[in-house]
Amino acid sequence: MKYLILLWAGLARRKVRTTLTLLSVIVAFLLFGTLRSVVDAFNIGVEIAGADRLITSGKYSIIELLPISYLNRIESIEGVESITHQTWFGGTYKDPTNFFPRWPVDIDRHLTVFPELIVPPEVVQAFKRNRQAAIAGRDLAEQYGWKVGDRIPIIADIWPQARGGAWEFDLIGTFDTTLEGSPTLEFWMNYDYFDEARAFAQGLVGWFTVKVAKGTEAQDVARNIDAMFANSSNETKTSTEKQFTLSFAKQMGDIGLIMTGILAAVFFTIVLLTGNTMAQSIRERVPELAVLKTLGYTNGGVLALVIAESTLLTAVGGAIGLGLSTLLVTTMGDALASFVPGITNSVQNIALGFAVAVLLGLVVGFVPALRAMRLRIVDAMRG
């Protein structure tokens, strides 16, 4: 602790330069924390996907539609416990930024395949009675301030109505989930109503979600499903729910790769910037370092001082940046929930970020520290 004054002496020598370097480190770790949180949010989606469910979609693309008649045929395959279908509804609620998944569902099949979703029986009954009924996730309803009985208009994009105009649904209740950390942000409407009212593609669905019976090998079931439709006009590709979620997210691009690319560019710049700052700082302080050696500070001691100085700079910058990213992710969490639900800056992320900050300090400080260590007092004093 007593050497802190020497670290301060080094850093405070050029306050403006140190402040600017610190700011760049802060921004780098603000980005680190925030982008890692986004990547994690996508991965959480993957992790919470049930391992006992399979998705059967078009062989070549998830936007290829499949006949709903496949449902009964898939259901007849051994090892299939239950099945439902899903179709990406798209559409816009008031403003394009109000993004949330909307599904036309067969409510009984849907709740059988997704037992983690909880809907009160009276709501299920009301949903069946009212063709224009809709059920929203509790979090979604809270986000938009919806109440039971509200009429929710959705402007069509993929699926226009045959009669034209916006789709309108009556909110008759909300659903919850038993999965911790998984926000309920979906919006369901009756598939039968959707199928009849849409302008085209009647009898076609986006994909099937298959629940595999316990004790059955999911791989065998997937192979049997795809074999059943091989060489037909609508061949299928069956994958685990996890793989499907990943490929869905990757429609936007490889999120992990994009984020890693951005972070690599940021950190490459930071290494150059901070490394240059440290090198410049050491060059300017050659006589001062020589004085320290004159006073009895060893070569190793001076090496340690310079490395500690750069590490202190990056560690403080890293801590502030990670703290700000946590604040940002927390405060922006609700706004981002529609795009990346469940976003949070995890303790592991923060710990990793701090470790990177310390490592960064050690790396950028090493070369200037080596130069300081090798400094000959006599040469340095001579200038």
Partner 1 sequence: MNNNDKTLVKLDGLSKQYTRGKITVEVLDGLHLSVDRGDFLALMGPSGSGKSTLLNLIGGLDQPTSGSIEIAGQRVDNLSASELASWRATHIGFVFQFYNLLPVLTAHRNIELPLLLTHLSRKQRKQHVEAVLEIVGLADRAHHRPAELSGGEQQRVAIARAVVSDATLLVCDEPTGDLDRDTADEILELLGLLNRDHDKTVIMVTHDPKAAEHASHTLHLDKGTLVTGEELA
What b-and-e string marks burial along 140-165, b requiring 16 or more CB atoms within 10 Å of the CB? Answer: bbebeebeeeeebebebeebbeeeee
**Interface residue list for partner 1 (CB under 8 A):** 2-3, 5-6, 8-9, 12-13, 287-288, 290-301, 377-378, 381
Nearer Cβ to partner 1 (202/299): 299
Residues in the chain: 383
How many angstroms separate the CA atoms of 369 and 314, rounded?
15
Compute the least distance from the CB of residue 281 to partner 1, in Å: 12
133 and 115 in contact (C-beta within 8 Å)?
no
Nearer Cβ to partner 1 (61/298): 298
287 and 380 in contact (C-beta within 8 Å)?
yes
Compute the least distance from the CB of residue 185 to partner 1, in Å: 54
How many angstroms separate the CA atoms of 247 and 101, rounded?
16
20: part of which helix (H) or strand (E)? helix 15-47
Nearer Cβ to partner 1 (6/228): 6
Nearer Cβ to partner 1 (4/359): 4
Compute the least distance from the CB of residue 380 to partner 1, in Å: 10
Nearer Cβ to partner 1 (96/287): 287
Which residues are CB-contacts of 244 (< 8 A; sequence separation ≥ 6)?
49, 55, 57, 62, 207
Nearer Cβ to partner 1 (2/147): 2
Compute the least distance from the CB of residue 316 to partner 1, in Å: 17
Compute the least distance from the CB of residue 254 to partner 1, in Å: 48
Compute the least distance from the CB of residue 294 to partner 1, in Å: 5
Compute the least distance from the CB of residue 308 to partner 1, in Å: 13
Distances (CA, A) of 211 to 115, 225, 234: 10, 13, 21
Number of helices (H), then strands (E), belonging to the chain: the values are 14, 12
Measuring CA to CA, which residue among 301, 289, 280, 300 is closest to residue 364? 280
Nearer Cβ to partner 1 (4/20): 4
